[in-house]
Structure 1
Amino acid sequence: MPTLILLRHGQSQWNLEDRFTGWVDVDLTAEGEAQAIKGGVLIKAAGLAIDRCFTSVLTRAIRTSWLALAAAGQSFVPEVKDWRLNERHYGGLTGLNKTDTAARYGADQVKIWRRSYDIPPPPLTPGGEFDFDGDRRYAGAVLPDTESLASTLARVQPYWEAKIAPRLAASETLLVAAHGNSLRAIVKLLFGLNGEAIVGVEIPTGNPLLIDLDAALRPTAARYLDATRAQPLPPIAS
Structure 2
Amino acid sequence: MSQRHAVAVLVRHGESTANAAGLFTGVLDVPLSQRGMEEARRAADLLRATGLGFEAAYCSELARAWQTADVLAAELPDLPPFQRDWRLDERNYGALTTLTKSAVRAEHGEEQFLAWRRSVHTPPPPMGDALFDQLAASELFRRLPPEALVRTESLADVMVRVRAFWAERVDPVLRAGRNVIVVGHGNSLRALCAVVDDLPDEEVRTLGLPTGHPLVYEMDTGGPQRRGLLVPRVRGGVYLDEVAARVAAERLAREGGT
Fold in common (TM above 0.5): yes
Q: Which has the higher helix share?
A: 2
Closer/same/farther in 2, CA of residues 23 and 220 from structure 1, 3 Å limit: same
Match of 2:154 among 131, 148, 154: 148
> Percent identity between the aligned chains?
36
Instruction: Note if contact 2:132-2:151 (Cα within 8 Å) is conserved in structure 1.
Output: no
The runs of 5 or more residues in structure 1 that have no matched partner are 234-238
**Matched AA of 1:196:** E
Aligned to 1:7: 11
Instruction: Note if contact 2:87-2:148 (Cα within 8 Å) is conserved in structure 1.
Output: no
Give the match's secondary structure for 1:196.
Answer: helix
Closer/same/farther in 2, CA of residues 136 and 98 from structure 1, 3 Å limit: same
Distance 2:238 2:76 in 1: 18
Distance 2:116 2:191 in 1: 17
Aligned to 1:193: 199
Distance 1:109 1:79 in 2: 37
Distance 1:159 1:190 in 2: 12
Give the match's secondary structure for 1:199.
Answer: helix
Match of 1:137 among 127, 140, 143: 143
Match of 1:227 among 242, 246, 258: 242
Greater mean deviation of Cα atoms: 131-140 or 41-50 = 131-140
Instruction: Note if contact 1:10-1:33 (Cα within 8 Å) is conserved in structure 2.
Output: yes
Aligned to 1:40: 44
Is structure 2 residue 33 aligned with structure 1 residue 20?
no
Distance 2:240 2:148 in 1: 37
Match of 1:63 among 56, 62, 67: 67
Aligned to 1:174: 180
State the TM-score, normalizing by the size of structure 1: 0.91
The runs of 5 or more residues in structure 2 that have no matched partner are 250-258
**Matched AA of 1:219:** P
Instruction: Note if contact 2:86-2:148 (Cα within 8 Å) is conserved in structure 1.
Output: no
What is the CA-CA distance between 1:87 and the residue it aligns to? 0.6
What is the CA-CA distance between 1:220 and the residue it aligns to? 1.1
Instruction: Note if contact 2:95-2:127 (Cα within 8 Å) is conserved in structure 1.
Output: yes
Is structure 2 residue 231 aligned with structure 1 residue 218?
yes
Greater mean deviation of Cα atoms: 123-132 or 32-41 = 123-132
Deviations 1:129-163 (Å, cap 9, x if unpaired)?
77432322324436321011111101111121112
What is the CA-CA distance between 1:32 and the residue it aligns to? 0.3
Instruction: Note if contact 1:94-1:130 (Cα within 8 Å) is conserved in structure 2.
Output: no
Give the match's secondary structure for 2:9.
Answer: strand
Structural RMSD (CA): 1.8
Q: Would you say how many aligned residue pairs link Structure 1 and Structure 2? A: 232
Deviations 1:6-31 (Å, cap 9, x if unpaired)?
00000000100000000000100110
Aligned to 1:125: 128
State the TM-score, normalizing by the size of structure 2: 0.85
Instruction: Note if contact 1:51-1:78 (Cα within 8 Å) is conserved in structure 2.
Output: no
Aligned to 1:236: none
Closer/same/farther in 2, CA of residues 79 and 141 from structure 1, 3 Å limit: same
Aligned to 1:108: 111
